[in-house]
A and B are shown apart, each in its own frame.
Chain A
Amino acid sequence: MMPESGWRQGRAATRKDDTMPSAHETIDTEVKNNDVVLFMKGTPQFPMCGFSGQCVQILDYLGVPYKGVNVLDDAELRQGIKEYTNWPTIPQLYVKGEFVGGCDIIREMFQSGELATHFTGAGVPVKQTANG
């Protein structure tokens, strides 16, 4: 969907070392090896964008263990996650290898209680729900 069709070429041109995993491989590894992954700007401790910060607050509130991946650390990762998910914005939440949504969807699902249900349905323990 994004107009830049050639990110693989762009990656090849900027790769420092052929043994480095591609952004696609890095993302694949993260979402398959971690039950809950939030691709975000900044870190859970120091979000660098309000939308990423909102998602961190929601995940922290629910008390689910998750891994935050800072896309600002790596330009290839920042572009690669958009193409991997076919989703043009960040943050992006993955649960059990499956894309759940961006900030708006996460917030809507949290408020309606669906997010907690989604986690428990996926076998991820939740400490509390939106309604306490």
Chain B
Amino acid sequence: MTVKDRIVATLTRELRPEALEVLDESHQHAGHMGSRPSGESHFRVRVTAEAFAGRSRVDRHRAINALLADELRPDGIHALAIEAWAPGEAGR
């Protein structure tokens, strides 16, 4: 199971998102600080979920970071970009 698969599985299970996109952007950072020979270092999550309605950006990011804490250990992935929306919000 790839890191991306695990992220998709966790967020799908915990957030029941209306929309979810997980992008492995590691190739864009090859050779940069934090890149790893195995790839799988930089990810972007775009997620729309009812759970985010009425919550601040910081709260939304903290919720996702907490769900993905296993991946964010110091020896885990280097970067997680987050775009988190409630249903119906503009910005996507």
Contacts and interface: CB of A to CB of B under 8 A. Distances in A.
A binds B: yes
Interface in B16-39: 29, 32-34
B61 A103 contact: no
B86 interface: no
A105 B34 CA distance: 21
A32 to B, nearest CB: 19
Contacts of A109: 57
Contact of B57 (A49, A88, A89, A105): A105
Interface residues of B, number: 21
Interface in B70-90: 70, 72-74, 79-83
Nearest to B73: A3
B33 A88 contact: no
The winner among B32, B74, B83, B91 for most chain A CB atoms within 10 A is B74
B33 A1 contact: no
Q: Is chain B's interface secondary structure helix, strand, loop, or mixed overall? A: mixed
Contacts, number: 48
29 contacts: A1-B62, A2-B69, A2-B72, A2-B73, A3-B73, A41-B33, A48-B33, A49-B32, A49-B34, A50-B29, A79-B74, A87-B61, A87-B65, A88-B69, A89-B79, A99-B58, A100-B58, A101-B57, A101-B58, A101-B61, A103-B81, A104-B81, A104-B82, A105-B57, A105-B58, A105-B61, A108-B83, A108-B91, A109-B57
Interface of B: 29, 32-34, 57-58, 61-62, 65-66, 69-70, 72-74, 79-83, 91
